[in-house]
Amino acid sequence: MRERIVAGNWKMNLNKLSIKNFINDFPSLVADIKEVKNIIFPPYVYLYLFQEQDEIHYGGQNIYYEENGAFTSEISSGMLRDMGCKYVIVGHSERRHIFGEKNDLLNKKLQSALDNNLIPVFCIGETLKERKANRQFNVLETQLKEGLNGIKNIEKIIFAYEPVWAIGTGETATPEIAEGAHKFIREELNKLFSNAGENITILYGGSVKPQNTGSLIKMKNIDGFLVGGASLQPESFSEITRLSRED
Ligand code: PGA
């Protein structure tokens, strides 16, 4: 059975006080929702606030693949484990496009996460230019093939389809566009890993808010969401979680 997940990527947002308030307020808003798992990805420096509580699953927004060494400002998988993380985002489009992370680097990060028992949320998605050129499926295929090269246990990975043109822009993929991409990703995973795709959770990300959650979650191949902006307030994030309960 695929797990239903609504994750919040906080990026470089919030501060100590607002995060303390979130940790205080959020659990009671979703206490009755058992069938959806929430995971929060706060900025690294606030991970300790999550380590002090046991109601919210949490993880890091990135890792470097080496275990330790002279890599100023980087954080390893082992360090995230040390802070109680069970999850890590790998290949977010902001890492790919602002910081130039390529598929071969992301492949090493995925392997490092899995070697350290972290569950990666592996993000893939095309840019507007690529979609306009009708290259979205080629792009997804390459991101999957190169990113997953040599990886054995893909059933441990959560996938996130995040079309770059829909992230932080207010423009969401229509349910049909998102479903088309999710279906393609699942079929690719089936091809690459002998039908393993059927049991894999594939999240949609890109301007998800309470207003569009219902129509997206109805789609057969959408198993939950990776939410940026609307995950910053307990009210909207809990609302998205509530609306994600049923197909
Ligand atoms: P957004 O971000 O919901 O603010 O568009 C999504 C993401 O980047 O994961």
How many residues would you count in the chain? 247
Q: Is the CB of 42 under 6 A from ligand 1?
A: no
Give how far the C-alpha of residue 142 lies from the chain's centroid of Cα atoms, to the nearest Å: 19
Q: Would you place residue 191 in the very low, low, confident or very high pLDDT band (cuts 50, 70, 90)?
A: very high
Q: How many domains does the chain have?
A: 1
Q: Decide: pTM greater than 0.95.
A: yes
The protein residue whose alpha carbon is closest to atom 6 in ligand 1 is: 228
- Give residue 247's pLDDT: 54
DSSP string, 3-44: PPEEEEE-TT---HHHHHHHHHHHHHHSTT--S-EEEEE--G
Residues of the domain holding 72: 5-243
Share of the chain above pLDDT 90, in %: 93
Q: To test the ligand 1 pocket, which listed residue (10, 12, 167) has its Cβ within 8 A of the most ligand atoms?
A: 167
Just list the catalytic residues. Answer: 92, 162
Confirm if 227 and 208 have CB atoms less than 8 A apart.
yes
Residue 202's CATH number: 3.20.20.70
Is any atom of ligand 1 closer than 6 Å to the C-beta of 201?
no
- Tell me the pLDDT band of 1, cut-offs 50, 70 and 90: confident
Instruction: Check if 163 has its Cβ closer than 6 Å to any atom of ligand 1.
Output: no
pLDDT digits (tens, 9 = 90+) for 4-23: 999 999 999 999 999 999 99
Distance 226 CA to ligand 1 centre (A): 7
- Tell which residue, 152, 19, 39, 140, has the closest CA to residue 91: 140
Query: Does residue 236 register a pLDDT over 80?
Result: yes
Whether 192 has a pLDDT exceeding 80, the answer reads yes
pLDDT for 237 equals: 98
Q: Ligand 1 atom closest to Cα of 231?
A: 3
**How many Cβ atoms sit within 10 Å of the Cβ of residue 38?**
24
pLDDT digits (tens, 9 = 90+) for 173-188: 899 999 999 999 999 9
Please, which residues bridge with residue 227 across strands? 8
- Ligand 1: distance of its center to the CA of 171 in Å? 11
